């Protein structure tokens, strides 16, 4: 089976992944909430109280952000504490800034 040729750079793929994660207002709210939180981390239940959506819906949005690498979760059953993934956060800021300079 032939190897599929790659058409996109690694930066383009990362930018698309971050862009997808940023493409919903709930996910923007979550990132804003975490970035502005004094301790920079919080439990999903705390965010659920701030949003007019079901916890299961919030969970799906948290999963998207986590899959993109923008947040990370610390599991302490039955709670999950979420924080901004600082390394990915900085990378996303840099990629977006470079993209919009064009």
- Going from N- to C-terminal start, the domains of the chain cover 10-97
pLDDT tens sequence across 6-65: 889 999 999 999 999 999 999 999 999 999 876 678 998 889 998 999 999 999 999 999
Return the SS3 of 74.
strand
For 74-87, the pLDDT digits (tens) are 888 888 999 999 99
CATH classification number, 10-97, choose in 3.90.650.10, 1.10.3720.10, 3.40.1160.10, 1.10.10.10: 1.10.10.10
The DSSP result for 25-50, as a single string, is HHHHHHHHHHHHSTTSEEEHHHHHTT
Q: Residue 40's pLDDT is what?
A: 75
How much is the pTM?
A: 0.87
């Amino acid at each position: 089976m032939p190897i599929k040729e790659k058409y996109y750079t690694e930066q383009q793929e990362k930018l698309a992944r971050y862009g997808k994660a940023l493409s919903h207002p709930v996910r923007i709210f979550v990132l804003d909430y975490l970035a502005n939180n004094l301790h920079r981390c919080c439990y999903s239940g705390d965010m659920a109280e701030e949003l007019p959506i079901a916890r299961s819906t919030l969970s799906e949005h948290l999963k998207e952000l986590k899959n993109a690498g923008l947040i990370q979760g610390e599991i302490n059953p039955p709670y999950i504490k979420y924080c901004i993934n600082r390394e990915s956060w900085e990378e996303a800021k840099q990629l977006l800034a470079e993209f919009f300079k064009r």
